[in-house]
């Protein structure tokens, strides 16, 4: 999945566009996040009742959302034995704050990188290009 800052030139940018861009989420992963948020707590079966995709696809999306911290899981012991996982999402306020922090951190790093741009660094990059393609 490719991301370009120029995609944010549009006036109709949404928070979901930012979430997708910052965390390299697919449309499917964003749909799963939305489903978990609206139906929480919800298990995989509950998600597949809303999003008609196979369990493996939903599970991969959940795994990614767990990894970035937007979704939490709780292990529920079943009366007949065994267990299942129920998923819930961060609140929209928590997601919003997490995004704001990410934007602030990356903005600082981008400003620092731009401030450190020099002719010598550009020349070194060009030298690397020559080495890469002339060997």
> In the numeric block, which tokens belong to residue 51?
């999003």
Task: Give the ranges where the chain is alpha helix by DSSP (H).
Answer: 15-23, 27-39, 44-50, 55-68, 92-115, 119-133
Predicted confidence at residue 67, as pLDDT, reads 95
Predicted confidence at residue 5, as pLDDT, reads 62
Q: What are phi and psi of 85, to 5 degrees?
A: -110, 140
> In the numeric block, which tokens belong to residue 55?
């369990």
Predicted confidence at residue 1, as pLDDT, reads 42
Sequence-separated (6 or more) residues with CB below 8 Å from residue 82: none
Predicted confidence at residue 9, as pLDDT, reads 66
- Print pLDDT tens along the chain (135 aa): 455 566 666 677 887 888 888 888 999 999 999 999 998 899 999 999 999 999 999 999 999 999 999 999 999 998 998 999 999 999 989 998 998 998 899 899 999 999 999 999 999 999 999 999 986
- Give, for 79, the enclosing helix (H) or strand (E): none
Strands 83-89 and 71-77: antiparallel
Name all domains of the chain by residue range, CATH numbers in brackets: 5-133 (1.10.10.10)
């Amino acid at each position: 999945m490719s991301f370009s800052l120029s995609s944010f030139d549009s006036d109709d940018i949404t928070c979901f566009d930012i979430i997708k861009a910052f965390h390299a989420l697919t449309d499917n992963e964003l749909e799963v996040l939305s489903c978990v948020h609206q139906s929480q707590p919800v298990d995989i079966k509950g998600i597949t009742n809303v999003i008609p995709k196979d369990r493996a696809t939903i599970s991969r999306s959940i795994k990614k959302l767990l990894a970035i911290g937007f979704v939490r899981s709780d292990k529920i012991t079943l009366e007949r034995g065994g267990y299942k996982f129920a998923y819930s999402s961060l609140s929209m306020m928590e997601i919003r704050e997490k995004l704001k922090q990410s934007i602030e951190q990356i903005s600082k790093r981008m400003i620092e990188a731009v401030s450190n741009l020099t002719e010598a660094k550009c020349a070194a990059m060009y030298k690397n290009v020559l080495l890469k393609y002339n060997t």
